[in-house]
Amino acid sequence: MTRDEEILDLIELLLTAEIYNQHAQLNVNDLTPVAREVYGIHSMDGERSPVVVAESALQRVLGIPDAHTRLDKHPLTVYEEFGHRLRITSLPAGLTWFIKNGGKPRIGKNPALAWYAHKQDPSIGISYEEVRDTTPRFEDSRVYLDRRVSRMLADDDKLRSGLDLIIISAPEEVEQTIEDIICSPDHLSRIIKLKVALEHLEFLKSRRVYEVGKLLFIGPPGTGKTSLAFALTQVLHMPILEVRLSMVTSQYLGETSKNIDRIFDAARLLSPCILFIDEFDFLAKSRIGDDHGAMKRAVNALLKNIDRISLIRNKVLLIGATNHPQLLDEAAWRRFDEVIPFDLPDLATRELILRRLLADSKTEVDIAEVAQKTAGFSGADLKMLVREAILSGLTDGRYELSTEDIAKGENLIKTRDEHRARNWA
């Protein structure tokens, strides 16, 4: 980072702090994630407090030691020895200096600055609403989620055992985005319906429409069930609680029912959230094939909890996923409002996936021809194929992908499937 960039970073934080402190109508989501970290904002609860720019925070977050020495000749900043804090002396003049010295692109990524800049000069051509919509929400952060979990445990430490059975991810931690996935029109329509439902919860409650938000994803491995579930965290701005039923089944079978109750209790307390139950068939099939009384009680506990959870009442979106829908009995099927199939990609979809995966790679390969040769490949298979092709090229000291590199990726998938089909008996 150059010295000029460091100075722009510092002035941006000072301007943002002053704007936030002077205008009470702005809230934490008008701050950038870096600003929130520098100002030490960890919660949206309680009275809105003024924020400060401390040198220690600037060094911790930005890696800039002795920040006041970078600004000692800047006419619009003041360093307060007591507290080791920096502040801007004039907002209008500070904004003018910021824009003149190359800060305008940064305004397009900072809601508080965009709001103030438009207030000062409507012709600036930056939409506050658009900037705010594209800035990560504080509620999507790990900091916010950890604070909620800590408060939940402070109220009831018994829930700790339930949290130990769940992998919790904040939206900002999830790498998958909806743009990364080739969604079918059917999948997109379901997503839109969920967003509409969340925007009209009170209306749906008044009409007693509760049968929304219990989804069962079915399909072969690698077809995007888990990817879509995780991508929904950023679309719906909800953390995701991932559960694998094989991990919930206790060696002490009598504990399994309690474990299931604890997981659903945690989901209700952490709402709004997505509760994603992978390997759903692991327990739901046991009602048919297992005569063990404790296991049957566990299955009944699962079904009972599904009945009691609701997107409309509890703001919990329940998603079950299975590769083996034929193993689920009728009672399990009835619990879901919608069953959403994930099929192996057809020719056109395979070509779309390959083009997206290869978009950043230099290659003369005929992608349409590769799509023809990969019938039966899942989306995950195609991703593995491209990964192998890239590694093949790098091994030979090349960044450009050849037909031979792609062929190696195809062979890897086909060989793996042959190994899986072998019978060692």
On whether both 166 and 299 belong to a single domain, the answer is: yes
What integer pLDDT is reported at residue 421 of this predicted model? 64
On whether both 326 and 358 belong to a single domain, the answer is: no
Residue that is last in its domain, among 341, 360, 392 = 341
On whether both 359 and 260 belong to a single domain, the answer is: no
CATH of residue 411: 1.10.8.60
b (16+ CB within 10 A) / e for 91-127: beebbebbbeeebeebbbebbbbbbbbbeeeeebebe
On whether both 254 and 181 belong to a single domain, the answer is: yes
Count of beta carbons in the 10 Å neighbourhood of residue 167: 12
On whether both 90 and 156 belong to a single domain, the answer is: no
**Of 409, 312, 311, which is closest to residue 363 (Cα–Cα)?**
409
Q: What letter does residue 31 receive in the DSSP assignment?
A: S
Low-confidence ranges of the chain (pLDDT < 50): none
On whether both 146 and 209 belong to a single domain, the answer is: yes
On whether both 333 and 372 belong to a single domain, the answer is: no
- pTM above threshold 0.75: yes
Strand partners, 243: 277
On whether both 250 and 273 belong to a single domain, the answer is: yes
On whether both 214 and 333 belong to a single domain, the answer is: yes
What angle do helix axes 3-22 and 91-98 make, rounded to 10 degrees? 150
In the chain, count H helices and then E strands: 24, 9
What integer pLDDT is reported at residue 245 of this predicted model? 75
On whether both 164 and 293 belong to a single domain, the answer is: yes
Each residue of 168-205: pLDDT tens digit?
999 999 998 888 888 888 999 999 999 999 999 999 99
On whether both 299 and 370 belong to a single domain, the answer is: no
What total of structural domains would you count in the chain?
3
CATH of residue 228: 3.40.50.300
Residue that is last in its domain, among 135, 166, 193 = 135
Instruction: Give the domain range for residue 254.
Output: 140-341
Residue that is last in its domain, among 108, 135, 162 = 135
